[in-house]
């Protein structure tokens, strides 16, 4: 069974640009969560999607948005990039909220560098 995949793996953008990151969950998984990982702030929750609906959102500005498609694939978008958005963005999938002990399976991440 293929794991969680994220594309692209590496991305370099300049301030003010926008970026879209993609996540394909494990087959059969319907819940996708996004996290931002930085050395200073650690792992911070961005949002969670289930059945194409955002179910929960972390404390990030409106420049961060996401969506989920009917095949459970998810994208996140960051508009008007700032230097502080440089981070590893992790996607995690799970079968469904509450099932299998809430275990999440993480992708390899997308390393975003904002210049």
For the CB of residue 97, give the shortest distance to other proteins in the complex, in Å.
4
Write the binding mask 59 to 88 for other proteins: x where contact by CB under 8 A, - elsewhere: ------------------------------
The closest alpha carbon to 113, from 39, 25, 14, 40, belongs to 14
Q: Taking the CA atoms of 32, 27, 100 and 88 in sequence, report the sign of the dihedral they define.
A: negative
- The count of residues in the chain is 115
Residue 57 · residue 64 · CB < 8 Å = no
- Residues binding other proteins: what is the number (CB under 8 A)? 26
Within positions 4 to 63, which residues make up the interface with other proteins, using CB under 8 A?
Answer: 4, 33, 35, 42-45, 48, 50, 55-56, 58
Query: Quick one: which of 36, 74, 93, 104 contacts other proteins (CB under 8 A)?
Result: 104
**What single DSSP character describes residue 84?**
G
The closest alpha carbon to 77, from 89, 59, 94, belongs to 89
For the CB of residue 96, give the shortest distance to other proteins in the complex, in Å.
9
For the CB of residue 17, give the shortest distance to other proteins in the complex, in Å.
26
Residue 26 · residue 92 · CB < 8 Å = no
Residues that bind other proteins (CB under 8 A): 3-4, 33, 35, 42-45, 48, 50, 55-56, 58, 90, 92, 97-98, 101-109
């Amino acid at each position: 069974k293929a794991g969680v995949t994220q594309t692209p793996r590496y991305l370099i953008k300049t301030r003010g640009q926008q970026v879209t990151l993609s996540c394909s969950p494990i087959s059969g998984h319907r819940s996708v969560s996004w996290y931002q990982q930085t050395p200073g702030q650690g792992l911070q929750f961005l949002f969670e999607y289930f059945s194409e609906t955002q179910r929960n959102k972390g404390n990030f500005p409106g420049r961060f948005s996401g969506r989920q498609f009917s095949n459970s694939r998810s994208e996140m978008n960051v508009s008007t990039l700032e230097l502080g958005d440089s981070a590893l963005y992790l996607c995690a999938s799970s079968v469904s909220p509450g099932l299998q002990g809430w275990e999440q399976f993480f992708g390899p991440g997308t390393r975003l560098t904002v210049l």
